């Protein structure tokens, strides 16, 4: 279980603080929604370690995540932009997800197969469609092998048909690998299709959307 307990954060001392409490279960997708500027990205930055709360707790099972720097947290982040290197092949981009010093083309090929890109490993990222690029980013996430997946509007740049396909893939991978997946989205259809639990940020406070 990924659990945030009364995480409090303010950008300036005089600001009203954000308050975040929620739970995310392994193998399920937990959705976070809210108006633009409500604090969705702030919450993701707290989970990833880019921001530090003034109080509260953040745990994954029995592990306290707050003392860990971003590079040491068991977290992968998938953004609206796929963050691929356009000059590298699909294989080259996926290899970047492997732990430092580790090599293994078989693992890379297996990850590409799992996300439905068998046979496309040699193609430069610049020649891939938007949906294929997000699949490469997901394959890279597979090789990172981290139990928490943070999704920041990951389908927004995709057309409706591709969006549905990639969205289904994210749900399947989350269940198969037991990821604690946290989806930030303002699209109601994404949340309805994927989320087992839905929280909303209102007035800088996170609560159940039901």
Neighbours of 62 (CB within 10 A): 6
Task: Please give the share of the chain, as a percent, with pLDDT higher than 70.
Answer: 96
Contact in structure between 93 and 127 (CB atoms under 8 Å): no
- pLDDT level of residue 174 (50, 70, 90 thresholds): very high
Contact in structure between 198 and 210 (CB atoms under 8 Å): yes
Reply yes or no on whether the pLDDT at 78 is more than 90: no
Contact in structure between 108 and 95 (CB atoms under 8 Å): yes
- pLDDT level of residue 210 (50, 70, 90 thresholds): low
SS3 55: strand
Class at the top of the CATH hierarchy for domain 1-74+147-210: alpha beta
Give the residue range(s) of CATH 3.40.50.300 domains in the chain. 1-74+147-210
Q: Quickly tell me which residue has 């937990």 as its tokens.
A: 30
Position 81 scores a pLDDT of 66
- From residue 44, give the alpha-carbon distance in Å to each of 7, 41, 79: 12, 5, 11
- pLDDT level of residue 21 (50, 70, 90 thresholds): very high
Spatial CA neighbour of 153 closest among 37, 41, 25: 41
**Out of 17-21, 73-77, 95-99, 122-126, least confident range:** 95-99
Whole-angstrom distance, CA of residue 67 vs CA of residue 75: 14
Contact in structure between 194 and 29 (CB atoms under 8 Å): yes
Mean model confidence pLDDT for the chain:
89
Spatial CA neighbour of 127 closest among 117, 116, 138: 117
Could you read off the pLDDT of 150-170 as tens digits, one per residue?
999 888 878 888 888 888 888
Whole-angstrom distance, CA of residue 162 vs CA of residue 193: 14
Which spans in 53-181 are helix H? Answer: 90-95, 105-114, 130-144, 160-177
Per the confidence metrics, is the pTM higher than 0.95?
A: no
């Amino acid at each position: 279980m990924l659990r945030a307990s009364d995480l409090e954060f303010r950008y300036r001392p005089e600001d009203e603080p954000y308050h975040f409490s929620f739970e995310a279960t392994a193998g399920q997708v937990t959705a976070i929604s809210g108006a633009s500027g409500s604090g969705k990205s702030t919450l993701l930055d707290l989970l990833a370690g880019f921001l530090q709360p003034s109080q509260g707790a953040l745990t994954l099972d029995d592990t306290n995540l707050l003392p860990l720097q971003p590079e040491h947290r068991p977290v992968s982040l998938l953004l609206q932009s796929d963050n691929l290197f356009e000059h590298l092949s699909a294989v080259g981009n996926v290899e970047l997800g492997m732990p430092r010093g580790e090599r293994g083309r078989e693992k890379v090929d297996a990850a590409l197969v799992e996300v439905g890109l068998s046979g496309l490993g040699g193609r430069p990222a610049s020649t891939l469609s938007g949906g294929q690029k997000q699949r490469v980013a997901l394959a890279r996430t597979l090789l990172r092998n981290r139990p928490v997946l943070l999704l920041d509007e990951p389908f927004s740049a995709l057309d409706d048909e591709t969006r549905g396909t990639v969205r289904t893939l994210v749900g399947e991978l989350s269940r198969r690998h037991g990821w604690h997946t946290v989806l930030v989205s303002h699209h109601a259809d994404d949340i309805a299709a994927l989320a087992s639990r839905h929280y909303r940020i209102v007035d800088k406070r996170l609560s159940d959307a039901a």
